[in-house]
Amino acid sequence: MMNNILLYLAPPVIGAIIGYVTNAIAIKMLFRPLYPIKIGPFQLPFTPGILPRERHKLADNIGRMVERELLTEEIIRQRLSKPDVIQAVEQGVSSATEQLLDTKLQGSSDFAKEAIDFLVHTIHNPGFINALGSLLDNIAEDLQGRKISDLSGIEIDELQAKVQLLISQQLEQLLPAASSSIGSLLDSHYMELKDRLINFLRLPEIHEQLEVQGRIFLQKTFLKLNTFQRFFISAAQYDKTLDERMGDIIDDLIYQIDVLLSKEENKIMLVRYVQSFIADLGTKRETLYRLTGMLNGLIAPALHKELGDLVQSITGLDREAQRKVLRTRFQSWMQASSEEAIKASLLKYLNQHAESRIGEIVHIDMAQKAHIDGFIAHTLIDMAHRKIADALKMINIRSIVSDRIDSLDMESVERIVLDVMASQFKWINVFGAILGALIGAGQVVLSFFLKGLN
C-alpha cells in the first residue's frame, strides 16, 4: 500500500523539484558564468551567460528604450507643466535671489570680480549698446508725449501754486545773497559793460531816437519860459540853432556820460547802488510779488506743454531729432568709455560699499522680489519648453544610458537586475515547480489510463 502511494506521489514531487531547479539554473545562466569556459581549444556551450555575452546589445537596447519610451520630449514637457515642478523651480529661484541679495559688495570677492568682468564685456557689446539705445528711444518717445504735470502726479492748478511758492521762496533767499555776487561780477566787468552801454547809445537808430527826445525836451523847456524869454530866444534863433545841432549835442552828451562812468569814484558808487538795490528787492514784498509773477508767467505755459514740444521750443529740434541726438550721444558715451575706466569706477563703488548687501543697494521689497522670482521662474520654464528637443538631442540619452550600463561590471549588472526582479524570479521558480508537479501528475494519470486499457 505504502509503495503504491509513493509510486503515485513520486512523479509530481520529482517533476516539481526538476521544474524549480531547472528554472533557477536557467535564471542563473542569464548572468553566469561571467566569462567563457574553455577545455583545451573548445569553449563550453552557454558560456559566458546570456547577459555577459550580449551586454553591449543589452545596453544599447535599454538606452534606446529609455530614449523612446521613458525620457521623451512630450513626457518631459508634461512633467515641466506639473504644479509641483513649477513650485520647485520658483522656490529654487527664490532661494538663489535671496542669497544674491544677501551677498556683500566686496570688490575683492570672486563674485564681484566675475560680475565686473561680465558687466564690462556686456557694456561694450554692440548688440547690448544698440538694445539700450532702442530702450532709451522708446522711453524718450513716451516722455515726449507727457506733460510735467503728468510726470509729477500733481494736478496742474496745484502744481502751478507750488511752482509760484517755490519761486517766491527762492527769490527771497537768493536776492540778498546774490547782491554781493552781482556786485563782484559788476566790479570785475564794469569797464566792459560801460563800453557796451556807450556803444549802444551810439548806434544810429538809438542816436536818432535820442535826438528826437532832445528836441521834445527843448520844446517843453521853451514852453515853460515867459513871453519875453521866448521872444528873446526866437529873435536870436537859439531854438533853431539848437535843433540843427541836436546831433552834436547828443554826441557830446554821450561823451560826457562816458567820462562820468569812467571815474573810479562813480564806478564804486554805482556798484554799491546796484548791490543795495538787489538786496532791498528781497525785503520788499511788492517787488518779490512782481518778480514772482513775472517768472511764474514765463514758467507756467511750459507746464501745459508736452515735453517734446517744450524741448523743441528751446532747441528747435523736432521729436525725432531729439531722440536721435539723445540716442547718438548715449551710444557714443558708452563706446567711448574704456574697459579700465568702467572697471575702476565699479571697483571704487564696490569698495565704498563693501559692507553693504546687494539687497540694501537695490531696495527691493518682498512683493517686488516675489514678482521678479515668479518672472524668472516662468521664463526658465518657458525656455526649457522651447529647448527640450535641442537639449535631448545634445544630451543623447540613449548614448548616456548605454555607455553607463556598458561601463558596469557584470556583477553590478546582476545585482541591479536581481534587486528589481528578485520577486519575479522567485515566482518563475515556483511556477516551474508547479508545472513540473503537473507534468508528474499527468504521467500518473496517463499510467492509470493505460493500465485500464490493458
Q: State the pLDDT at residue 176.
A: 63
Alpha helices in 36-155 (DSSP H): 50-53, 55-65, 73-80, 83-101, 110-123, 126-144, 148-152
- How far is residue 384's CA from residue 378's CA, in Å, rounded to a whole number? 10
pLDDT value at residue 49: 67
Per-residue pLDDT of the chain (454 residues; tens, 9 = 90+): 555 666 667 777 777 777 777 777 676 766 677 667 777 777 766 676 666 666 777 777 777 887 777 777 788 888 888 888 888 888 988 888 888 777 776 655 666 677 777 777 777 777 777 888 888 888 888 888 888 777 766 777 777 777 777 766 676 666 666 666 777 777 788 888 888 888 888 898 988 888 888 888 877 877 777 776 666 667 666 667 777 788 888 888 888 888 888 888 888 888 787 777 766 665 666 666 666 666 667 677 777 778 888 888 888 888 888 888 888 888 788 777 777 777 777 777 777 766 777 777 777 778 888 888 888 888 888 888 888 888 778 878 778 777 777 777 777 766 766 665 666 667 666 776 777 777 777 776 777 676 666 5
**78-102: b (≥16 Cβ within 10 Å) or e:** eebeeeeeeeebbeebbeebeeeee
CB atoms inside a 10 Å sphere around CB 49: 19
Instruction: Name residues whose C-beta falls within 8 Å of residue 311's C-beta, 6 or more positions apart in sequence.
Output: 144, 317, 322
Beta strands in 170-280 (DSSP E): none
Closest CA to 299 of 154, 165, 173, 155: 165
pLDDT at 120: 75
How high is the pLDDT of residue 281?
Answer: 61
Rounded Cα–Cα distance for residues 34 and 29 (Å): 9
What percent of the chain is helix, strand and coil (3-state, nearest 5)? Answer: 85, 0, 15
- Residue ranges of the domains in the chain? 1-60, 78-102+365-393, 151-305
- Round to whole Å and give the CA distance between 77 and 81: 6
* 144 to 130, 154, 279, 308, 322: CA distances (angstroms): 21, 18, 40, 4, 9
To the question of pTM greater than 0.95 for the whole model, the response is: no
> What pLDDT score was predicted for residue 7?
66
At 336 the pLDDT is: 75
The grid coordinates of residue 231 equal: 521872444
Alpha carbon distance 445, 441 (integer Å):
6
Helix, strand, or coil here: 36?
coil
> 3-class DSSP state for residue 261?
helix
Contacts of 33 (CB under 8 A, 6+ apart): 47, 48, 49, 52
In 3-state terms, what secondary structure has residue 334? helix
CA–CA distances in Å: residue 191 to residues 207, 252, 256, 277: 21, 20, 15, 20
Q: What pLDDT does 127 receive? A: 78
Return the number of other C-beta atoms located less than 10 Å from residue 417's C-beta: 16
Q: What is residue 272's predicted lDDT score, i.e. its pLDDT? A: 81
